[in-house]
């Protein structure tokens, strides 16, 4: 007799897969969908972009704070953001999933629905996966993209004189996490939702490439840390304008949460991770594509890879390191 609210061990691997597969989009560029040893995906461009990111329970998410659907959307979104940050259009995902036997099947179905909901509007397929038992939930996603004939937008192409621009949210995820940690999610549920599920500006990636962006990366570890990466790779300095000015909309949104928590808005703007916005540089004469806001200027390399409002950055920490406690 079927169990009413089954957990993973109540089903065979085949039964679990039979529940997951129908929830996942195939994608119109998938020539051979999941079910064989491997899938086959078109690459009309003659190249493909590939990236991977892993989410681990109690490191990147908590099941008490995030539903399976949240985690599925987040896992997809942060990988899709890496594809977009190359200037590519997302095409296909594969997903390896580790699940404790006591995980409700509904949680796993929610995860699959979340992956599907993130991919379906883009016509990106979930073309393969693997499933294992294990002591914690692990969601490992590999994402593939299509450069549509363009060169990839790398992080090493910024040149002095370029405009620095950012698309997407800044600091929302960090503020949402702090609200959750403080047990005060009601202060701004929108920030908490932004922590649970980032909403990267995926369209802005290919748009930046078409507009001639000289460099771009996904801001996963905070603006300072990722701008530093871009500066080092390009051999330049990134001069950010006053964040409270150039990111005024984000600053306004973060004000109430900062007030309640006694936190600093500028620190969130500069060091908050996991919003998965796009940081790009453009030649000075190029009109910025939709969603991008000018946040600074590229200058010749100086003693600091990143400067803020003309000086060295003054914040406690430059961003997130998975193996180090945050300062």
Minimum Å gap between C-beta 299 and a second copy is: 22
Contact between 130 and a second copy (CB under 8 A)?
A: yes
Residue 271 CA, distance from chain mean position: 15
Residues 133 to 152 in contact with a second copy, rule: CB under 8 A: 133-136, 138, 140, 142-145, 147, 152
Q: Which of 18, 38, 252, 314 binds a second copy (CB under 8 A)?
A: 38
Minimum Å gap between C-beta 228 and a second copy is: 11
Q: What does the alpha-carbon distance between residue 321 and residue 124 come to, in Å, rounded to a whole number?
A: 30
Minimum Å gap between C-beta 309 and a second copy is: 27
Contact between 97 and a second copy (CB under 8 A)?
A: yes
Contact between 129 and a second copy (CB under 8 A)?
A: yes
| Comparison of 53 and 199: residue with beta carbon closer to a second copy | 53
Q: What is the DSSP letter of 308?
A: E
Residues 198 to 237 in contact with a second copy, rule: CB under 8 A: 216-218, 233
Q: What does the alpha-carbon distance between residue 17 and residue 112 come to, in Å, rounded to a whole number?
A: 10
Contact between 40 and a second copy (CB under 8 A)?
A: yes
Q: Number of residues in contact with a second copy, rule: CB under 8 A? A: 75
Residue 131 CA, distance from chain mean position: 23
Judge contact between 220 and 80, C-beta under 8 A: no
Beta-carbon contacts of residue 292 (< 8 Å; ≥ 6 apart): 165, 166, 167, 204, 208, 278, 280, 282
Q: Could you tell me which stretch among 237-245, 248-256, 264-272, 319-327 binds a second copy (CB under 8 A)?
A: 319-327
Q: Which of 6, 19, 21, 42 binds a second copy (CB under 8 A)?
A: 42
74 labelled binding-site residue: no
Q: Which of 21, 43, 106, 193 binds a second copy (CB under 8 A)?
A: 43
Q: What is the DSSP letter of 233?
A: H
Contact between 187 and a second copy (CB under 8 A)?
A: no
Burial of 313 (0-12, 13-18, 19+ CB in 10 A): buried
Task: Determine phi and psi for 268, rounding to 5 degrees.
Answer: -60, -45
Q: Could you tell me which stretch among 123-131, 258-266, 284-292, 299-307 binds a second copy (CB under 8 A)?
A: 123-131
Beta-carbon contacts of residue 114 (< 8 Å; ≥ 6 apart): 67, 68, 69, 70, 71, 72, 73, 74, 75, 76, 197
| Comparison of 16 and 191: residue with beta carbon closer to a second copy | 16
Residues 236 to 265 in contact with a second copy, rule: CB under 8 A: none
Residues of each annotated binding site for substrate: 60, 274, 320
């Amino acid at each position: 007799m079927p169990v009413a609210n089954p957990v993973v061990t109540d089903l065979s691997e085949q039964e679990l897969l039979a529940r997951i597969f129908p929830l996942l989009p195939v994608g119109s560029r998938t020539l051979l969908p999941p079910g064989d040893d491997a899938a086959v995906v078109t690459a009309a461009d003659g190249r493909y972009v590939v990236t991977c990111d892993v989410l681990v329970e109690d490191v990147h998410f908590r099941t008490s704070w995030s539903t399976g659907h949240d985690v599925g959307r987040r896992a997809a979104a942060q990988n899709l953001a890496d594809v977009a940050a190359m200037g590519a259009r997302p095409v296909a995902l594969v997903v390896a999933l580790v699940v404790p036997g006591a995980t409700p099947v509904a949680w796993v179905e929610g995860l699959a629905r979340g992956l599907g909901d993130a991919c379906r509007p883009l016509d990106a397929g979930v073309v393969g996966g693997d499933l294992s038992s294990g002591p914690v939930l692990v969601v490992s996603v590999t994402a593939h993209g299509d450069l549509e004939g363009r060169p990839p937008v790398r992080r090493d192409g910024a040149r002095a004189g370029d405009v620095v621009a950012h698309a997407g949210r800044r600091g929302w995820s960090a503020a949402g996490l702090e609200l959750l940690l403080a047990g005060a999610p009601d202060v701004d549920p929108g920030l908490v939702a932004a922590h649970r599920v980032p909403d990267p500006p995926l369209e802005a990636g290919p748009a930046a490439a078409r507009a001639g962006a000289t460099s771009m990366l996904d801001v996963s570890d905070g603006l300072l840390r990722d701008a530093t990466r871009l500066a080092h790779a390009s051999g330049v300095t990134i001069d950010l304008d006053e964040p409270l000015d150039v990111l005024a909309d984000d600053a306004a949104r973060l004000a109430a949460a900062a007030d309640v928590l006694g936190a600093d808005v500028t620190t969130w703007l500069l060091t908050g991770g996991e919003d998965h916005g796009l940081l790009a540089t453009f030649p000075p004469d190029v009109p910025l594509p939709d969603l991008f806001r000018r946040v600074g200027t590229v200058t010749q390399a100086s003693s600091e890879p990143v400067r803020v409002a003309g000086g060295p950055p003054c914040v406690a920490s430059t961003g997130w390191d998975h193996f180090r406690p945050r300062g």
